[in-house]
Structure 1
Amino acid sequence: MAATSPLGAISAEVTALNDYAAVRYTNIAFLTFMVFDHIITFETEVAKIWTLQWRLPKVLFLVNRYVIPPMLIFDGYRLSMIFRNLCVALSQSGPHGTVETILIVRVLAICGHRKWVRNFLVTAFLCAMAAWITLSSKIMTKTTGSPGGILFPGCLYSAPKYFFAAWIPPVAFESTIILITLYYLSEYEWSHINLTLRVLARDSMIYFLIMFLVLLANLFIAKWGHDFLGSLLIAPSSVIACVAAARMMMNIREVGDVDIEPLPAIEFRTPATTTMGDGEV
């Protein structure tokens, strides 16, 4: 085997440093955006969310708002002194798991709380999470984390080449949710949908499409990105999930305060009929 020339070694180091800088500054930009969004929406959060009863949506909101972000910040910002045993591959399932649970509730509202849809979504979600955890566990056993030192501050991870496979389950689940939402939205006469349901459908579809594209990009970058670039969108996808979940829930709560005249039952093209009223999500 031919030895690597000094010039080639230097070129590889420069490339690695450039890739690291791209990942690091991308993470910092998204994390700064997350903190800024938290600050400007805090007043709305206090008024619209803190007054809710302690039920699943409120718990998921607070976990997504106050538990997940510190984990992301710890992993992404500069840490001048960091111990080796703290550099573990922190799970990315937290933000996606909580957001997907919130979205299941929203999709059920769009489809009229049909029992078979609920059972299907819950089963699909559990299967996706089980597959994600199984793949991630296998990958984590081959992943090592360590402080990067002065040149690469923060946590650096070395993962196996097949770690892109962990993104396949969430991409599949997002695709399923998009198709179900589009199908049921096509059953409505849009002009007869009340404002609450319009906001619900609008925010959900925007989130589904953005997250689907980001997760798909994660899959391809993890597969073909070299060295540090393989993790380019991992933290940003979690930030998008955190911010989007908070925004969607606050939007629907703000709409709930608007005085809306009740509308008659919404007729589907199928024989079944359901009534969609303004309710809390």
Structure 2
Amino acid sequence: MDPAQIFHSVIVALDNVVITRHISAAGYVVLLYDHLLTLDDEVKYVWSAPTTLAKVLFLVLRYLVLLFMTGETITRNGVVIVPMSDLVCKAWTSFATYAGWISVAISNFLVLLRIWTTLPRGHRFVLWSLGFFITIQVVNFSVTTWVITNMNAVLYFDVTVGLCSFSSKPSVVGLWAPGLAFEIVVFASVCWNTLDRPRATDPADPEGNITRIFFRDGVVYFVIITSLRVANAVIAVVAPISSIFIIVFFIWSGVTVTTSRLIINSRREIAQLRELQMSAGGQFGEEREGTDPTTDTLELAERASPSVGGW
């Protein structure tokens, strides 16, 4: 390669680094802005709820990603160079990759909890989806560990740009394949189950309000998450080394924002349903005798917050 080509490749690589920094910073701004916008709803509908597994996982997702993205923005902004040894660089990258796996697992499980609240008690989909979720997470953890091992073999700290860099391009596309498979299968199953139970979306059924709203938000969630994961996978395959993670942090922020919105919106709708029940409590109490318990709105409220999710 002649000097002109070498110089050109260096310029392109530096441009890609700058673009990666800007896109990552944009993702952090979106995450922080949305966090501030939804903080009031978070306090009202999440913090005030009883402490349960779902609540703890939701808060871990919200603040784990926010804190990590804050640290990542500081170390990658190009204004302040944080020098690292190769060992520290490998440890930080490994931690970031595992943190991404944990956040995706939490997002998937929270969505499953919301899906389960729209199903009849003891529905077979609950056990099937839980088993599928556990299987996918075991596969995802294994793939993540394999990718980290491959990345660490070619990872070093580049003092020229002040970033962790790769001496050769590692294979990272496997990071998003298991999650993409999980979301496609679960979404297809939910669509089939909803169509198989027409009453679940009956406007005259109080429970149908929650189901319809969740299904509407779920479609948006699926489209956004799937698009982001496909974009990540494509870029991981076709992009040069200098831009292999060009949109990773932006997409991480986008996935967290989308999941948070889905959960908070469903919590708001459940709270509004309960307020409606309480305001109509007197009239409902008069009509309660002889009423079919399967349409009891108090029972619907309990089903909207089962013990597994609890809030």
Q: What TM-score, normalized by structure 1, do the two folds share? A: 0.85
Q: Which runs of 5+ in 2 are unaligned?
A: 278-283, 285-290, 306-310
In the alignment, is residue 188 of structure 1 matched against residue 231 of structure 2? Answer: no
Equivalent AA in structure 2 for residue 53 of structure 1: P
Partner residue, 1:31 = 28
Equivalent AA in structure 2 for residue 164 of structure 1: V
Are residues 81 and 102 of structure 1, via their aligned partners in 2, closer, same or farther at CA, if it must alter by over 3 Å?
same
Quick one: distance in 2 between partners of 1:156 and 1:276?
56
Q: Residue 17 of structure 2 is aligned with which of 12, 16, 20? A: 20
Cα displacement (A) at 1:147: 4.0
Structure with more helix by fraction: 2
Cα displacement (A) at 1:83: 2.7
In the alignment, is residue 248 of structure 1 matched against residue 258 of structure 2? Answer: no
1:161-216 superposed Cα distances (whole Å, 9 cap, x missing partner): 42212221111001111101211222325343532222222222211221111112
Q: Residue 215 of structure 1 is aligned with which of 215, 229, 232? A: 229
In the alignment, is residue 117 of structure 1 matched against residue 118 of structure 2? Answer: no
* 1:142 counterpart SS class: helix
Quick one: distance in 2 between partners of 1:147 and 1:76?
17
Larger Rg: 2
Q: Residue 183 of structure 2 is aligned with which of 161, 174, 180? A: 174
Aligned residue pairs, count: 270
Cα displacement (A) at 1:159: 6.8
In the alignment, is residue 224 of structure 1 matched against residue 238 of structure 2? Answer: yes
Quick one: distance in 2 between partners of 1:209 and 1:244?
11
Seq. identity, %: 17
Quick one: distance in 2 between partners of 1:76 and 1:156?
16
Are residues 13 and 265 of structure 1, via their aligned partners in 2, closer, same or farther at CA, if it must alter by over 3 Å?
farther
* 1:53 counterpart SS class: coil
Are residues 104 and 257 of structure 1, via their aligned partners in 2, closer, same or farther at CA, if it must alter by over 3 Å?
closer
Are residues 207 and 248 of structure 1, via their aligned partners in 2, closer, same or farther at CA, if it must alter by over 3 Å?
same
Cα displacement (A) at 1:240: 1.8
> Once structures 1 and 2 are overlaid, which stretch shifts more, 152-161 or 169-178?
152-161
| Bigger RCO (CA 8 Å, 6+ sep) | 2
Matched-pair contact (CA < 8 Å) for 1:135–1:166: yes
Partner residue, 1:277 = 300
Are residues 71 and 202 of structure 1, via their aligned partners in 2, closer, same or farther at CA, if it must alter by over 3 Å?
same
Q: Which runs of 5+ in 1 are unaligned?
A: 268-274
* 1:83 counterpart SS class: coil
Equivalent AA in structure 2 for residue 229 of structure 1: S
* 2:117 counterpart SS class: helix
Query: Where in structure 2 are the equivalents of 1:62-73 lying within 5 Å?
Result: 62-73=59-70
> Once structures 1 and 2 are overlaid, which stretch shifts more, 108-117 or 207-216?
108-117
Query: Where in structure 2 are the equivalents of 1:73-88 lying within 5 Å?
Result: 73-77=70-74, 78=77, 79-84=80-85, 85-87=87-89, 88=92
Are residues 244 and 154 of structure 1, via their aligned partners in 2, closer, same or farther at CA, if it must alter by over 3 Å?
same
Partner residue, 2:281 = none
Query: Where in structure 2 are the equivalents of 1:259-274 lying within 5 Å?
Result: 259-260=275-276
* 1:110 counterpart SS class: coil
Quick one: distance in 2 between partners of 1:264 and 1:213?
44
Quick one: distance in 1 between partners of 2:276 and 2:34?
29
Are residues 196 and 106 of structure 1, via their aligned partners in 2, closer, same or farther at CA, if it must alter by over 3 Å?
same
Matched-pair contact (CA < 8 Å) for 1:75–1:155: no
Cα displacement (A) at 1:54: 0.8
Quick one: distance in 2 between partners of 1:276 and 1:222?
48
Equivalent AA in structure 2 for residue 235 of structure 1: F
Cα displacement (A) at 1:226: 1.6
Partner residue, 2:172 = 163
